[in-house]
Structure 1
Amino acid sequence: MQFVRHLGHGGNGVAAAFRFPDPGPNGERRYLVAKSNHTVNGDIYISWERGHTMRFRNAMHIVQLEQPAPLVNRRRSERIRARTPGHPDGSWPNHIADVNNILFLEYLPRGSLHKALCTMQSRQMVVPNRALWHMFHCRKLMSSTIN
């Protein structure tokens, strides 16, 4: 992965955008957001957020979890590679790479749903009722599972 840019930071941690070095199936580059929490109980908060995000898997207007590409062990010597923990193919397992306390999310370069709704409102665009009811229903499900 290659670092693209810093997206934000706060009292609980940081978020940054990364790009996969190899292009995707249609020649397009894949991006993801790595979010980490640096508080004392950061692992608990990341685990909690991962659980809530997984409940809305495949919801089209909610940011989805991503699976990062395997981290490659770049040691050149076969002898040294054999001594270091990792898979035979040269990738590092998650518990050794220490990525379990990082939340990987899809990257939305054009902004958030809130930004889109505000833009539509400022331009006085009409949104079909069917789309609004779909978003409302999903939002209702989200608030009922969080409480």
Structure 2
Amino acid sequence: MKVVIQRVTKASVTIERQKVASINNGLLILLGIVNEDTAEDIKWLSNKITNLRIFNDENDVMNRSLKDINGEAIAVSQFTLHAATKKGNRPSYIKAAKPDVAIPLYEAFVKQLETDLGKTVQTGEFGADMKVELLNDGPVTIIIDSKNKE
């Protein structure tokens, strides 16, 4: 699993002109899934995201986690994170898991994140054409790949 997390002061997801998710201080999480991803990847990644110290403390030092600040999260599926761009100018998405594999893993990731955070995680809609709006705070943007744990 690969994620791009962005620290935000606000973020939202709109589908067909209908806002389906909206948060204030927290993280926008873009999640890409491949066939090899497992429950172990989900647990490791959720734990890493919820405990990553990327929010400022009273001394303006990034020393607090999403859990520490009682922050909110939106998780959005994004198969394009696994784009292969080595050859030619048209990205290939062959590494991205098909919906029959990706949807259950995406849903399990959201549930694990909710368990680790102790609150509801908002989502987009798997496979939908989504408009994602955010105000990146910092800017802080971090890429994490569960296959690169060491």
Q: TM-score, normalised by structure 1?
A: 0.28
Structure with larger RCO (C-alpha < 8 A, sep 6+): 2
Q: Which has the higher helix share?
A: 1
Larger strand fraction of residues:
2
Larger radius of gyration: 1
TM (normalized to structure 2)? 0.28
